[in-house]
Amino acid sequence: MDAGDELAPLRARFVLDDAVYLDGNSLGALPADVPARVDDVVRRQWGELRIRSWTESGWWTAPERIGDRIAPLVGAAAGQIVVGDSTSVNVFKALVGAVRLAGEERDEVLVDATTFPTDGYIAESAARMTGRTLRPVAPSQVPDALSGRTAAVLLNHVDYRTGRLHDLPSLTAAVRAAGAVSVWDLCHSAGALPVGLDEHGVDLAVGCTYKYLNGGPGSPAYLYVRRELQDRFDSPLPGWNSHAEPFGMRGDYEPAAGALRGRVGTPDILSMLALEAALEVWDGVSVDAVRAKSLALTDFFLECVAAYVPAGRVESVTPVAHDERGSQVALRCADAGAVMGRLIERGVVGDFRHPDVLRFGFTPLYVGFGEVERAARVLGEVLGAG
């Protein structure tokens, strides 16, 4: 399988060792060209050019330029994504902006009841600040929960615990048919599978860049605003960077045109340009090919787990069906934290989620089938000895 893998040569674009790294769904591996690029940013652009780099090195336009590099990976045309701030901040901007787009007569916000906790916290705060009622529902229940009261719906494309892939096309269509505004969190899907933001009519989306996009710890997130909504998108954080005349220093706020109104303050240049360098590993890479390999890797891992792990020691909570699976496998296991610790000691790096889930993320750009077999075999040995 490794010999027939068209993506196998991409592994050389990363800094890796002999460990089996299956935690790219938390922090992607370091692309090999990033250190030299960051060194140039620090020593030459900052150290020599200093303030001139805002224009001569393209610092000022980095948020939208890098957004256009991300756009093809999530199925978006250029001019709709801006990079900056954290995922949490962008969720806040998107959700409050969605409520404002929906209009005053809609007084309810739906949120994925199984969402990553921060999304839930921000949804509760945004609803309270805008005078809306927050209603947590399971993604599968969204179509029945929608009504004329619904202002916005915040959903995760892939469940961070189980790896379940939710049906973005049909759920987005249902939200649109109800007259509400869709907001999707792409943290666990962008860079692992096709998203199709433009194709499926998604209104707003956010995502991080340090998982499958390999941007580095704390690398800036991004905000997608569908082109047709940009002239009406009213960000709750109207910073000087999103002003139509950012250097006019006017007392009144006039939003910039296009996706730029998603900017807030001064961009975090060091991490942003590290991300730009990291995204170059995607040059010439097909997201469809990545998805095909992702499914093959996770299929093979489940097959190996069934063969190597003693019966009854683990239970997969990740869907078997390809159209319901992201790029991770989650196994329910007693004493999961201690088990993962022993796996890491033996060179198999994943993570666990409280209280009993082992998570293994499969990044097709640098994970091979031989590594998958090794990971399952070591898991079987650890649990067999346990």
- Is residue 359 flagged as an active site residue? yes
CB 13 within 8 A of CB 281: yes
210, 212, 224, 362: the active-site residue? 210
The whole-angstrom separation of Cα 246 and Cα 248 is 6
Sort residue 216 into left (φ over 0), alpha (ψ -120 to 50) or beta: left
What distances in angstroms separate CA 214 from CA 220, 234, 328, one per listed residue? 11, 30, 16
- Is residue 211 flagged as an active site residue? yes
First-last CA distance in the chain: 31
- Please, what sign has the CA dihedral across residues 123, 128, 130, 135? positive
119, 185, 203, 268: the active-site residue? 185
- Count CB atoms within 10 A of the CB of residue 9: 8
359, 360, 362, 369: the active-site residue? 359
- Is residue 325 flagged as an active site residue? no
- Is residue 300 flagged as an active site residue? no
The whole-angstrom separation of Cα 382 and Cα 342 is 7
13, 93, 164, 211: the active-site residue? 211
14, 21, 92, 116: the active-site residue? 116
- Is residue 160 flagged as an active site residue? no
Beta strand extents in the chain (DSSP E only):
14-15, 20-21, 30-31, 81-83, 108-112, 133-137, 150-156, 181-185, 204-207, 222-225, 314-316, 328-333, 348-349, 351-353, 357-361
The whole-angstrom separation of Cα 58 and Cα 35 is 19
Q: Please provide the DSSP assignment of 99-128 as one string.
A: HHHH-TT--EEEEETTS-HHHHHHHHHHHH
| Residues known to be catalytic | 116, 185, 210-211, 359
